[in-house]
Chain A
Amino acid sequence: MFATKRLSKMQEHVPPGITIVKCDNLEEWQMDIKILDQNPLYLDQTYRLKFTFSNKYPIEPPEVQFIQCPASTGTPRTIPMHPHIYSNGIICLDLLGSAGWSPVQTVESVCMSLQSMLTANNRNERPPGDQEFIATNRRRIRDINFIYEDDNV
């Protein structure tokens, strides 16, 4: 109930490069984001984000990750290359953890943060230990204790 109203906002006026794909319930939303500048890593690419809201949103952060869509769906989506994005789509970004989250954040603000995180990147690589992480991680995103060691994102 607490979250109902604010999730139903922002129907039409989304920032550039961001589109709402699916928002038919208050548990899970999907958004498409594009990188608007000329960064060759992400040129002409669209990436799909999945937001999962708990009933404590916005006191608690939503779970946010990139998801893949096969080409057969008509909207092929891949996981963007980034030293803080694992190949299963899990994002290591402090504002998505309980320490960095603030209830004033919104779906738009998270999307824009991710856009700028990608824009600023010039390394075509995955985080260290990516293969091991995706093979062994069975935890929920919010329970992973990331260490946010890199401030240059």
Chain B
Amino acid sequence: MSRYKQLLFGGAMLLLMLAGISLIYGAQTLSINTVLHTLWQGGEQDFIVNDYRLPRILIAILVGTGLAVSGVLTQGIIRNPLASPDLMGISGGAGLAACTVLLVWPNIGSVWLPVVALFGGFSAALIIWLLSRWQQPSPARLALVGIAMSAFLSSCINFLLVIHPIEVNSAMIWLTGSLWGRNWSYIWPLLPWLLTLVPFSFYLAWRLDLFALGEETAQALGVDTQRLQIMALLSAVALASVSVAVCGTIGFVGLLAPHLARLLVGSRHQLVLPIAALVGALLVLSADTLARNLAPPLELPAGVLTAILGAPYFIFLLHRYKGW
């Protein structure tokens, strides 16, 4: 078996194991037998296992995949290690839109929230795209615009929270990113997006490799770079926005997963995408499992843990990276 396949297989095994652990541990610890039994036949633990823990695990995996793939696409298009959905203001836009709606209509259903978040994410991306069309900044400057944009959006969110003090806490949890109380009804709006967009990003992978050689070279090799940029960016925005809509702005996944994947398997997008998706899923799932188990029954937001897990690793990467 090639090293790549070993890596893929190992990652999948790890994910499966983590999912098992996540099913077993929690506010109430179950035995492996109970879990297996309940999974097949239901029983008295049916609610905890099948309605509470299982959907959360699936959502964590989906959201992690979505954020990671979105990160790979953004970094590929902007050709900048800084680019990621959370730093480009996309998560911020989705967050602001969702937050506004949550404060105004607290009872909006889980079906409409992704749509609203999508709208917000696209608007933020559109603004950044228009700005970049207007001045054609260098990638580093574009990343700065994105960072400023996310800072701006997060202060808009702060502003909303300050003038609507009643909802502060739930909004805060949501802003940090959490899977608390997410059940099956959240999976169905998420699934179709991922099932179409993740395969689509594989379709784009080869073109992105060519794009990495520079825009002119890619054009000379017959890639319609403008169309590629638009398609990849749209997919990235959509993936990030639906993920944010379901469990808030979980930070660092979109930035970290592509970097880690590239460190492991080099720079070819076809190889990077699956590994990045695995890393993303692992990161979010382990963060959520920890979040539930650190101080039960109190629950920390998973976003805090992705930051705690992600930031030191990111710094380590920075330290090792020699390509400055």
The answer to whether A binds B is no
Chain A interface residues (CB < 8 Å from chain B): none
Chain B interface residues (CB < 8 Å from chain A): none
